[in-house]
Each structure stands twice: as C-alpha cells, then as structure tokens.
Amino acid sequence: MFPVRPVDQSPHDQGRDVVEIKAVSVNPVDVKVRSGGDPDGKPKVLGFDAAGTVRGIGPKVTLFQPGDDVYYAGAINRPGTNAQFHAVDERIVGAKPASLDFVHAAALPLTSITAWEGPV
C-alpha cells in the first residue's frame, strides 16, 4: 500500500490539482503500462480513468470547488488513479454527469475519447 498524501503536498502538484477517487476502470492501456515495468525498478501507481469528488484544490484552480463530482482520464507522466487520492490537473477534468454514478462515470473517459477520435 502506498501512503496517501494530501493533494497540496503531492510531489507532482502544479497548483491545479484536485480529487478523492470514488471509482476507477481498467483499460488496455493500463495492462500495457503495467507490463512495461519501470527500468529503475521503482513502484508506479497505475490507472487512468477515474471518477471522484474534489476534496482540495491548488492555488491556481478556477474550474472546480471542493465537493464537485468529477471524472477524467489521467496523464501518462503522473502517478495513476488507482489510489484513494489523486492529484490531477483541473484542465483535463470534467464535471461528472449527474445521470451517472461514479462507477459508470469512471468507465467513460478513455473509451469515449477513443470513440470520439475513431474513424467515422
């Protein structure tokens, strides 16, 4: 188990970071990242798609407030979403649709991006 850091103490915080995770999903990219391993042997938190609630905000955050429910696909260059808390740049986060629970919202980000970018 990895220690949980408050959002404002994340070593990756850029001042735009937010979320307490409520649900995550697993995608083919998660399997690919896991199978690659780290050449330096350092542990890595996996995961991309997540849904959760904003618990804290960095000093540059303007799009969300604590208590907002959100969903997003994380970034390859930061720790993953398979954690209790996750620092994520607000600019890649969206408001969770009210019609979806956290589990269903977490299943959307990478799959919907893939569908959007796919051939017509």
3-state secondary structure 37-104: CCCCCCCCCCCCEEEEEECCCCCCCCCCCCCCEEEEECCCCCCCCCCCECCCEHHHEEECCCCCCHHH
The structure tokens 């390859």 sit at 76
pLDDT digits (tens, 9 = 90+) for 45-65: 889 999 999 998 888 889 999
- For the CA atoms of 93, 53, 13, 114, the dihedral, rounded to the nearest 10 degrees, stands at -30
What is the residue extent of each domain of the chain? 13-117
pTM of the predicted model as reported, rounded to 2 decimal places: 0.80
pLDDT digits (tens, 9 = 90+) for 91-117: 999 999 999 999 999 999 988 888 888
Angle in degrees, CA 78, 81, 84, rounded to 5:
120
pLDDT at 34 exceeding the cut of 50: yes
Per-residue model confidence (pLDDT) at position 60: 87
* % the chain with pLDDT above 70: 86
Per-residue model confidence (pLDDT) at position 8: 42
| CATH number listed for the domain at residues 13-117 | 3.90.180.10
Per-residue model confidence (pLDDT) at position 17: 74
Per-residue model confidence (pLDDT) at position 105: 96
- Between 34 and 106, where is the model more confident? 106
pLDDT at 32 exceeding the cut of 90: no
| Average pLDDT of the chain, as a whole number | 83
